[in-house]
Chains A and B, each alone.
Chain A
Amino acid sequence: MQNFAFHRPKSLSEAVSALKQADEGKLLSGGQSLIPVMKLNLAAPSDLVCISSLDELRGIRTEAGRLIIGAATTHGEVDASAEVKTAIPALADLAAGIGDPQVRNRGTLGGSIAHNDPAADYPAAVVALDGEIATDRRTIKAEAFFSGMFETALDDDEIIVAVSFAVPDRAAYAKFPNPASRFAVVGVMVAQHKSGTRVAVVGAGANVFRATDMEKALDGSFDPSALDGVAVSADELTTDLQASAQYRAHLVTVMAKRAVAACG
């Protein structure tokens, strides 16, 4: 790890200006992704701007049919939140399955989606729950936000403030974890909204995506059997040490069915 300057701004505006002034600045929230890559010398930021304790980035509330969660909320806090469990229990379940207790007590919602690891769990929820990402300067719709593997629509000096999720009629997340890292080999969030069903998939490809054939099938009949024979193509999916694209494609259907079943 290389030396860096450490900033702990007292407000969102201070954080933005610290980031703007830095040579190669990085935001630090829970540090669960950034610190490991810095330890491996794969990233060597000149400045770290720590935003994990900014009041503007904290808090969980329900407003007009949407659940709004501050970007610096840890996975553990989401998992434990009565507000989340009431509004979208599937989101609390998803948070409870991220990494391990140490990761959940440090890692944050904003950090996870800003990093956009293709195997992270949260992007599935943000997409399936028609998420809107509020930043210090604008609001970005979920599908515009996740632009590619480890890429988002965020500007270099833009800070996520909160994420708003549509409260669905019912939803569930089913994940087949990587046995080593507990990241998703495949994770599928199924959410039934008044406007239609959304099926969002993480782990399987380079970026979160919606399984639109499955959404159509479930709009016809919201039952696991509706997904019999409905599969995503393996062509665009990931092959790595843990799983081939073919196996991942198979798992997407299995996990989607399980999520539908878990919706009750």
Chain B
Amino acid sequence: MANQGIGASVKRKEDLRFITGRGRYTDDISVPGQLHAHVVRSPYAHAAITAIDTSEAKNAPGVVAVFTGADMAADNVGSLPCGWLIHSKDGSPMVEPPYPPLVADRAKHVGDNVALVIAETRQQAAQAGQLVAENIEYDELPAIVSTAGAAADGAPQVHSEAANNTCYDWELGDKAATDAAFASAHHVTTLDVVQNRLVPNAIEPRACLAEYDPATGDYTLHLTSQNPHVIRLLMSAFVLGIPEHKLRIVAPDVGGGFGSKIFPYAEEAMLLWAAGKLGRAIKWTAERSESFMTDRHGRDHVTRVELALAKDGAFVGLRVATIANLGAYLSAFGSSIPTYLYGTLLAGCYTTPAVYVEVRAVFTNTAPVDAYRGAGRPEAAFLLERVVDVAAREMGIDPVEIRRKNFIPEDAFPYQTPVALEYDSGNYHATLDLALEKSDYAGFETRRDAARQRGKLRGIGVSTYVEACGIAPSSVAGALGARAGLYESAQVRVHPTGSVTVYTGSHSHGQGHETTFAQLVHESLGVPVDQVEVVHGDTSKVAFGMGTYGSRSLAVGGVALHNALQKVIAKGKKIAAHMLEASDADIEFAENSFAVTGTDRSMAFADIAFAAYVPHNFPHDQLEPGLDETAFYDPKNFTFPAGCHVVEVEIDPDTGAVEVVNVTVSDDVGRVINPMIVDGQIHGGLAQGIGQALFEDCQYDPESGQLLTGSYMNYTMPRAADLPFYNVGNHVTLCRHNALGVKGVGEVGSIGVPPAVINAIVDALAHLGVTHIDMPATPERVWRAIRDAQAAKA
């Protein structure tokens, strides 16, 4: 048998069903007698609802019910909750306005949920929805969509309880020490950066199918979620009050999430509630335009960053002031992304001794903003890696050398940053060296000259990032305001014939857990991966779980699995000791076999499994039958992947069009279980990171608040033809605090590459006088930067 354990590029077990069209997604699931829902959405960014007449729609063909916010309020349906409490500088808690699943009197963004139509067919629901929409009277109100302008006096107010649209005004770091560092600095570099708002664009739109069985009182909700148990907990405890044991949540195959499917959504609450009221199953699947309007968006910051440097280029202080757009409502993790997943990363890979960050989070009349691939860390990495490059140019220091000079040295780990985190491991020089070598950084000027001959401006850019993932440590998260501790569970059920079912609280929506987790089983037990089934996503099967986001599946869920496997081995040893008439201490397990040390007596793993379930004369007081073990794992710390991304671009100076011609990355994601899957995760992250840097830009009309980029006609997703072949390498330093030494890989691409792209563009244009360009670096932006720089020179 070929190696299937740690380090083997085992082909993904799940791909056969995916690539042959046999995946089973929520919209593929139907039950007899199901109804269909259509959500009537606000056409206005901000409007008072003065009247809704649903009578015409209720009489339309096939219509079973039409519900409004008043109906849900009458049933005391709760607000969609926020899971992370942030405190402002002055100690006051963040402002938490209600987030009703259906609004009763005021719509706060385009697409806000105003009414729910239930009909026998999807078409009938949509047509009746049109009748509802035509019979709603709105009083349109001034809207605010601007991140930078939301807190200004006189700006339209989204929530009456949030003065100046401010949710919180948070800080982290030592302000006095940072100010002192700036006061004595040799040089200060200041940069204003915009983090463009992104739409997640999972290929599978959100969907749900809610069922209620009046005979038993059981509810079942199939949905597109990264996080089924947490959805159950929140729906049960906070929104609907359905007893948790009467609510089953199933997230079957899910076609991508990128963060957007972590959170409980209004449609899910509405359908569960309506299914209970009507005693019938109801299905809803988003149209793509609804995805654009109502999926949680990502990023959307404006920031001023200042870096203070000593004469020799050493970083002595960093000051960051950010305004973060939360959208119209607080989403489940919306408050934590621009604070503890952002400010805590502002030391980067560097020994900067004093860091101070302040973040004002604002409400606007836009879709709620929450985690999107990287979630806070891309925002941190972008401004740091940009300001470092700008500082290097201003001081005449090579951008690679200034990074080397300020890196946290390898022998300084564990390293306590000035912004709360303690990095456990890393080797930033090694990942940098590898990337420079693989990208032929030294030979770049030859390529620049060759490009110039072809009329193209070629530039090279480097970023050296660090991120925090494996989100869990319950004590750390709790201390920082998380309202739930985070951990992960795994259950390993060995069947009598020796095959294995793993139940994991992690959720796979593209990541390949069915393969990677099976490889962990093979590594520990020697069971072939095709004898391992990985079950996830169903609260009736898996005891509990915290789901998948923040690159936590392997670093938390995988380690939980590893621990459960060790329990299986320990139990197996006891059984073997009994069967082989030896003491527990004399049993060794290796190569799929339990043996008595120093003898030729042994039993295969499958035989021990069989014995476990058909026992004869197990000593009742010492050994229980069965081979089924569970572990809950709460890590000690985050994990800290890091690396170096090198990008080369060529710019057409006549049009400003940017072509990414080389991408070389060297990432330290800890121990690699399946190199092919890890490469795939890096490739996907890079595509999304390049998408943010060059193409993607969610825009609302500044006056009307209408979503201007509501379809693929004007929201640009990166396509295969826009991207080069990637040159991917890795340098491993092991995580020091988990048994597998793993860190996490899901987000490194989208974190590391955007600043490298922009650094490359600025490098290509620096000789013209260009010093910065905002994302996305569209052709017109680049053309204008060239023109403006030339005009300024002239």
Contact = CB atoms under 8 A, between A and B. Distances in A.
A251 B130 CA distance: 42
Contacts of B99: none
B716 interface: yes
Contacts of B714: 178, 180-181, 241-242
Contacts of A41: 130
Interface in B122-156: 123, 127, 130
Interface string B647-659: 0000000110100
Interface residues of A, number: 18
Interface stretch (B10-18, B240-248, B705-713): B705-713
Interface in A1-35: 1-2
Contact of A180 (B289, B713, B780): B713
Interface in B371-388: none
A251 B780 CA distance: 10
Contact of A2 (B127, B654, B708): B127
Interface of B: 123, 127, 130, 289, 654-655, 657, 695, 699, 708-709, 712-717, 722, 778-780, 783-784
Given A180-B714, A180-B716, A181-B713, A243 B655 contact: no
Contact of A251 (B123, B655, B708): B655
A243 B716 contact: no
Contacts of B708: 241
B655 A254 contact: yes
Contacts of A2: 127
Contacts of B657: 176
Q: Is the interface of A mostly helix, strand, loop or mixed?
A: loop
Contacts of A244: 780
Contacts of A40: 289
B654 A241 contact: no
Q: Is the interface of B mostly helix, strand, loop or mixed?
A: loop
Interface string A31-53: 00000000011000000000000
Contacts of B780: 242-244, 247
A230 B741 CA distance: 64
Contacts of A264: none
Contacts of A229: none
Contacts of B778: 179, 242
B699 A176 contact: no
Contacts of B784: 247
The 10 closest A-B pairs by CB, nearest first: A180-B716, A181-B713, A179-B716, A247-B780, A254-B654, A180-B714, A241-B714, A243-B780, A241-B708, A254-B655
A132 B709 CA distance: 37
A26 B127 CA distance: 21
B757 to A, nearest CB: 15
Contacts of A181: 712-714
A250 interface: yes
Contacts of A251: 655
B428 to A, nearest CB: 35
A13 B512 CA distance: 58
From A176, A180, A181, A242, residue with most partner B Cβ within 10 Å:
A180
Contact of A179 (B123, B695, B699, B709): B695
Contacts of B695: 179-180
A176 B778 CA distance: 13
B655 A176 contact: yes
A168 B716 CA distance: 36
A242 B695 CA distance: 11
B715 A180 contact: yes
